[in-house]
Structure 1
């Protein structure tokens, strides 16, 4: 067996075999990402009350005169009033004869300054006083939370955690953005459908925050069968994702995914098991991901002898995401994720040290999600650094720039935009996604960007490019439809897609270039069953590649 492995490595260069192993590994990562995106709930788009439309309600008692001469203005109880607002009110109104209209304007300006920052239950008013003294006293009652109240209907095996979802506590000033964040955290679980109501409390300035939740069964199962794999590891696969919502009472999501090529072929197969757990806490969300994947790709030597190329990869990561700003149309967050990936490859049962490695990375990013131009825009800018910790591979001193680096740096950029529009009376949906990265280091395959395949440039499944730097751009126009057949609701869409990608590499002899492809597809949704059928074809490939025939893909999904 050792002789056969040595013969195979001589005929297949170690570099080529390493790139092939890393390509399969990266394809497995992309398949897992897609599977989890389809199976798990996505965070809802930004939304909330437009505070600019809320006008303060103020009233002024009878002055007993057309106006009163005011030489000094004193504002009490306003611990959260910005100093510039306080200064502006004194500058604009002190030393003048103020009538009812002017006093109402002062109170409205004070109250509005709170409302614009989310403090919607804070009010300014005039206490009993003698304005003939020339001193105007304004009292501000900063609205606070008296208590939270949860009202649930429907069936649920777990209770919503108010303390974990909302960043505010009883006694805190009531800020609408804090409450909207809490509702978003609760509704991040697909078993919840929560709404918010603010009711008067037992004392002036205090409010009861009522959360009404329509709960559903907190256990979900999502299954898929598709033929989007490759001949090397199996073209057809089946997968299942079991997700559990809030069973620990922490608003947590726990999901287990298993994907396996079917039917099982001893010579060409791949499998993957993944665990994801996330726990929200106010403006933050903490997550844990762990996955294990394996594959077997049997090579045929010129002698006719078969030799198995096998790989096993274990990945663990811890992440935190924190919302730093939100309003009625936007949300901005910062994130950090520490990951460890251990890959082990074998040829003919012999361990390949040259293509086996352990990498540790830290990913820091800033993400924005906003409504723009009638659509929704999301963006993320990230910086990834390879670290020499947790047993990871360390680069030797003087490592050539042309060789892969474990301690690398790269920048990533992801953009997405979707918008509905009418064309000739047809309600169309346009979506566009861009994903790119740039690095001045030579990277291992697991850190390169992959172009080609169902997750990037459709139409090129066997022909793929991976690079240290590069990007791909996916565009899709869809025509959604809905009808009723036999008393049952049917819906779906017809879509047309165009994808383009380009990569570049620093190492000599590693292919760079660009490719593009087009896709025509249709999907159908009936009850809990969905079917997606599409045909993809490459439009442009590097000259060294042979264009594949039109590939027809089928994906059948069922959810419980």
Structure 2
């Protein structure tokens, strides 16, 4: 009897394990949703951090009144050609276009002064505020007008007291070097690098040097403290792994004196209710970034884990998943003027994910991917309005141990996708009578001809995409777009009410398996500060959805953050 009993026990265990394995296969979609949710959360936090980065636009110097070229001036000389001479004149030949209207005119002293004013205004408008243009006495009967360029150069870069003795380095923050021609764009970039540390305040004063045309850049810099602590809580999690999430972030600012940012964050589910221990999440993230003039270098790493208890035939099993991401990003401001800025970036990434039943890995769900992403970001200022957008091309590559995706066996996905992402936003403040309002629109899109695995698909439905849905289910496919609209108005001294209307649509091969292809939802909320706590509370509901798409009739949420 004993051998038979052992055999029965083994068979029962085998059937239980098979049942759990089959259930684990059904959990693959759940695992993908968890990773998508985490990716959306990380993107929202990244976008919020990006919004807090300073944009410095120094006020334009008042332009000299060039006026129109005088008519019938006496005496006058026909102007057939204008040349720019002097140290570094070749690189400023473009400024002469401002005086193209003078060619062919007969001008005297007033007309020559108008030419000088127009060329000078062109230089100042381009940021060369200490460079001067002069006209020496010359024979104009030849029709040739020669202008003399006197470049304004940087003599020295230095800190004002007391930072001159114990302050940080200016060399990786200020693009300009002694001897360079002074330009406001270099000063704006320097101030952005100096102020990117939230605990630092900075200003740069242009001080006349000892010689004509020379100036010193005097940096006034002060840092309140090098350490910050931030505590947060929200209800952005899923019911399956923990609705309520809490986190803490420790930031170390400018520790090495290179204007670098370093932070470590830890987040987890908050044990609320009767389901303690049956499910949960853990997330850890690390960030380091350092500027170098117009360059920015950044390293990000994160690790995420979730788990939940699943009822088996004879016992409960713990189904869990982990993901790890590492990325290195290099960005450079390739163009900036008084009203716009363009940045190019290259990102190298690797990500891994594994799923487990108890302590046994479900190997068919193992993923390891790596790739490159090239992006162009542009920011445009038009009065009080701000328009910004990012266009990115991402390509999966076969390096750093990349594994074929499990879906490749069935030609249903790839670990080397090629896809394009677009992100555009418009912020438009305006007044309606005495009420201050702000309209904000955000357009996101993705296009790909590849069959994508779930984590790479474009997903909609939830607080980070189409509001009004609880986020427990989503629509995702290879291609898609969404538009978020929001109108906000001041409510008290430190808060604002807002209403939002969002719409999204997905398409592609995997869209055929969905309950539908579009969602529309709305939300109303309040965001602001109470007793030092940043708070956002909202309520929303679906407006239009597929018939069999699962979502609550109403969804409410909150997020709060306290920083010290």
Output the TM-score relative to the length of structure 2: 0.87
Q: Which stretch has the larger CA shift, 326-335 or 257-266?
A: 257-266
**Counterpart-to-counterpart distance in 2, 1:339 and 1:559:** 30
1:218 aligns with one of 220, 226, 231: 226
Give the 5 Å matches for 1:215-294. Answer: 215-263=223-271, 265-294=276-305
1:412 aligns with one of 407, 414, 421: 421
The aligned counterpart of 1:61 is: none
**Counterpart-to-counterpart distance in 2, 1:115 and 1:291:** 46
Per-residue CA deviations over 1:30-78 (Å, capped at 9, x if unaligned) read: 2233345556772234633346x532899xxxxxx95679898764315
Judging changes above 3 Å, is the alpha-carbon distance between structure 1 residues 7 and 175 closer, same or farther for their aligned structure 2 residues?
A: same
The aligned counterpart of 2:348 is: 338
Shift of 1:100: 1.9
More helix by share: 2
Judging changes above 3 Å, is the alpha-carbon distance between structure 1 residues 554 and 111 closer, same or farther for their aligned structure 2 residues?
A: closer
Per-residue CA deviations over 1:440-492 (Å, capped at 9, x if unaligned) read: 11112221222122211222321222222112222222222334xxxxxxx21
Judging changes above 3 Å, is the alpha-carbon distance between structure 1 residues 545 and 9 closer, same or farther for their aligned structure 2 residues?
A: farther
Corresponding position: 1:309 with 2:311: no
Q: Does structure 1 conserve the Cα–Cα contact (< 8 Å) formed by 2:507 and 2:517?
A: yes
Q: Does structure 2 conserve the Cα–Cα contact (< 8 Å) formed by 1:231 and 1:268?
A: no
**Counterpart-to-counterpart distance in 2, 1:71 and 1:404:** 67
Judging changes above 3 Å, is the alpha-carbon distance between structure 1 residues 132 and 348 closer, same or farther for their aligned structure 2 residues?
A: closer
The aligned counterpart of 2:70 is: none
Q: Which stretch has the larger CA shift, 128-137 or 111-120?
A: 128-137
Per-residue CA deviations over 1:304-345 (Å, capped at 9, x if unaligned) read: 632211111110000011111111221111111010001111
Give the 5 Å matches for 1:147-166. Answer: 147-151=156-160, 159-166=167-174
Corresponding position: 1:8 with 2:12: no
Judging changes above 3 Å, is the alpha-carbon distance between structure 1 residues 57 and 422 closer, same or farther for their aligned structure 2 residues?
A: closer
Q: Does structure 2 conserve the Cα–Cα contact (< 8 Å) formed by 1:46 and 1:330?
A: no
2:388 aligns with one of 378, 384, 388: 378
The aligned counterpart of 2:478 is: 468
Q: Does structure 2 conserve the Cα–Cα contact (< 8 Å) formed by 1:47 and 1:330?
A: no
- Report the aligned-residue RMSD: 3.2
The aligned counterpart of 2:133 is: 124
Q: Does structure 1 conserve the Cα–Cα contact (< 8 Å) formed by 2:66 and 2:118?
A: no
Corresponding position: 1:497 with 2:509: no
1:542 aligns with one of 546, 550, 562: 546
Judging changes above 3 Å, is the alpha-carbon distance between structure 1 residues 72 and 401 closer, same or farther for their aligned structure 2 residues?
A: same
Judging changes above 3 Å, is the alpha-carbon distance between structure 1 residues 304 and 469 closer, same or farther for their aligned structure 2 residues?
A: farther
Report SS of the residue matched to 2:308.
strand
Judging changes above 3 Å, is the alpha-carbon distance between structure 1 residues 56 and 246 closer, same or farther for their aligned structure 2 residues?
A: farther
Judging changes above 3 Å, is the alpha-carbon distance between structure 1 residues 5 and 248 closer, same or farther for their aligned structure 2 residues?
A: farther
The aligned counterpart of 1:393 is: 403
**Counterpart-to-counterpart distance in 2, 1:369 and 1:432:** 15
Report SS of the residue matched to 1:220.
strand
What 5-or-longer segments of structure 1 have no aligned partner? 59-64, 484-490
The aligned counterpart of 2:63 is: 54
Per-residue CA deviations over 1:164-193 (Å, capped at 9, x if unaligned) read: 112111100111111111111211221123
Q: Which stretch has the larger CA shift, 345-354 or 406-415?
A: 345-354
Shift of 1:429: 1.6
Shift of 1:234: 0.5
Per-residue CA deviations over 1:263-316 (Å, capped at 9, x if unaligned) read: 283321001000011111111111100001101022224x36322111111100
Judging changes above 3 Å, is the alpha-carbon distance between structure 1 residues 295 and 140 closer, same or farther for their aligned structure 2 residues?
A: same
**Counterpart-to-counterpart distance in 1, 2:542 and 2:80:** 78
Judging changes above 3 Å, is the alpha-carbon distance between structure 1 residues 260 and 99 closer, same or farther for their aligned structure 2 residues?
A: same
**Counterpart-to-counterpart distance in 1, 2:366 and 2:53:** 36
Judging changes above 3 Å, is the alpha-carbon distance between structure 1 residues 505 and 268 closer, same or farther for their aligned structure 2 residues?
A: farther
Q: Which stretch has the larger CA shift, 473-482 or 42-51?
A: 42-51
What 5-or-longer segments of structure 2 have no aligned partner? 1-12, 68-73
Output the TM-score relative to the length of structure 1: 0.87
Per-residue CA deviations over 1:351-400 (Å, capped at 9, x if unaligned) read: 1122111011211111111124742111111111011111112479x957
Judging changes above 3 Å, is the alpha-carbon distance between structure 1 residues 158 and 440 closer, same or farther for their aligned structure 2 residues?
A: farther
Q: Which stretch has the larger CA shift, 310-319 or 461-470?
A: 461-470
Judging changes above 3 Å, is the alpha-carbon distance between structure 1 residues 370 and 88 closer, same or farther for their aligned structure 2 residues?
A: closer
